[in-house]
A = this chain, B = another copy of it.
Amino acid sequence: MIAVDANGADQGPAAVAEGARRSGLDVLLFGPASAVGASDGHVEVVDAPVTIGGHEEPAQAVRSRPDASIVQAARSVAEERAEALVSAGSTGPTLAAATLRVRRLRGVHRPALAVLLPIPGGPVLLLDAGASVEARPEHLVQFAYMGACFMEAVYARERPRVGLLSVGEESGKGTPAVLAARERIEAGGGLNFVGNVEGFDIPGAGADVVVTDGFTGNVALKVLEGTSKLMREAIGAAVRSSPVSAVGGLLIRGRVGRLREQLDPEAVGGAILLGLRKPVVVAHGSFGPRGIASAIGLARRAVDEDMVGRTAAALEAAGALRSAGAGSVAEVTPESDGGG
């Protein structure tokens, strides 16, 4: 059973409900019954009309509004009525509800938002794409294992290539945090670690998993999306601007349409929060029913392939868990953000 929050999507709760029905999977759907309809077939509806907006302070809103749909959905996962969470709403409240209710894996410092980029030759998993704004070396190390386990478990990618985002390929290039993380990942072992990768390796699919801090990752993601949009629009405008090229545009429309499908985020299923005790998928706010169905399918695969258990085992084997006694973890300074 997958818990789905129907509130907060750009196309409204009814589109999310339609996606849930289309997925063909068992879904516990939290949203306004007036919009999502009654339980039927594989979809069990819980009437939850209260929503948390994207502009509220997330942790505060989650704590004070236990009846909000995202909080109820997260609680259903914590109480094991559902095995994973899918949200079509804002990332902030989803992250807050998931961290507070579903909670982090034991020994994980903080969750990371991992985004599947629909790149030819990919997809490429970029993390952290913005769950935090800064990352210490021990966070980057955990992100590397979390991302690799996701690609292995959910995308059946054998020994995915893991790269650490930096400003040059040489091992000496990067911030002190990147240099320290690189040393620890190499020492921890167990990964197909390709060392530093650069900005052009993200669209170039130079690695299957690209590890970075949430600030850089968020900027990189938005530059990529913005540039892709700019290029599509500029080419469209060039084609439309003369009758001759408009005829040319009609002739290539089919091929370019197929290219667009290849780059389609709805086919991939959105972003996933890694490092929690259960899979949590954050569908893009713009997703229609097809994208929501993909997101639910993604959550289902993460459950079926035991992504969480495999992540915990990999982190432990590498000595990268916070409470473990192994080598690199001894360097971790005590901190106040709890250990799960």
Instruction: Spell out A's residues near B (CB within 8 Å).
Output: 119-120, 130, 133-134, 165-167, 173-176, 198-204, 212, 214-216, 218-232, 234-235, 238-239, 241-242, 244-245, 247-256, 258-259, 262-263
- Residue in contact with A234 in the complex, picked from B120, B173, B212, B241, CB distance below 8 Å: B120
Closest chain B residue, CB of each to CB of A262: B234
- B-side contacts of A231, CB under 8 Å: 227-228, 231-232, 235
- Residue in contact with A226 in the complex, picked from B134, B201, B235, CB distance below 8 Å: B201
- B-side contacts of A218, CB under 8 Å: 167, 198-199
Determine the distance from Cα of A251 to Cα of B249 in the docked complex, in whole angstroms.
8
- B-side contacts of A238, CB under 8 Å: 252, 255-256, 258-259
Determine the distance from Cα of A231 to Cα of B133 in the docked complex, in whole angstroms.
29
Contact A199 B221 (CB under 8 A): yes
Determine the distance from Cα of A229 to Cα of B262 in the docked complex, in whole angstroms.
16
Contact A224 B227 (CB under 8 A): yes
User: 26 A-B contacts, Cβ less than 8 Å apart?
Assistant: A119-B230, A120-B230, A165-B219, A199-B218, A199-B219, A199-B221, A199-B222, A199-B225, A200-B229, A203-B223, A203-B230, A215-B216, A216-B216, A219-B219, A223-B227, A234-B262, A235-B256, A238-B255, A238-B256, A238-B259, A239-B256, A244-B251, A245-B255, A247-B251, A249-B252, A251-B251
- B-side contacts of A256, CB under 8 Å: 235, 238-239
- B-side contacts of A223, CB under 8 Å: 199-200, 202-203, 220, 223-224, 227
Among A134, A199, A223, A234, max chain B CB count under 10 A is at: A223
Q: Closest CB-CB distance, A197 to chain B, in whole Å?
A: 10
- B-side contacts of A176, CB under 8 Å: 134
Q: What 20 new A-B contacts, CB under 8 Å, besides A198-B219, A238-B252? A: A119-B230, A120-B234, A133-B175, A134-B175, A199-B220, A200-B226, A202-B223, A220-B220, A220-B223, A223-B227, A234-B259, A235-B259, A238-B255, A239-B255, A241-B255, A244-B251, A247-B248, A248-B248, A251-B251, A252-B252
Determine the distance from Cα of A119 to Cα of B230 in the docked complex, in whole angstroms.
9
Contact B202 A226 (CB under 8 A): yes
Contact A242 B255 (CB under 8 A): yes
Closest chain B residue, CB of each to CB of A256: B238
Closest chain B residue, CB of each to CB of A220: B223
Q: Closest CB-CB distance, A174 to chain B, in whole Å?
A: 6
- Residue in contact with A248 in the complex, picked from B222, B232, B249, CB distance below 8 Å: B249
Determine the distance from Cα of A165 to Cα of B214 in the docked complex, in whole angstroms.
13
Contact A222 B241 (CB under 8 A): no
Determine the distance from Cα of A258 to Cα of B237 in the docked complex, in whole angstroms.
12
- B-side contacts of A200, CB under 8 Å: 222-223, 225-226, 229
- B-side contacts of A259, CB under 8 Å: 234-235, 238
Closest chain B residue, CB of each to CB of A165: B219
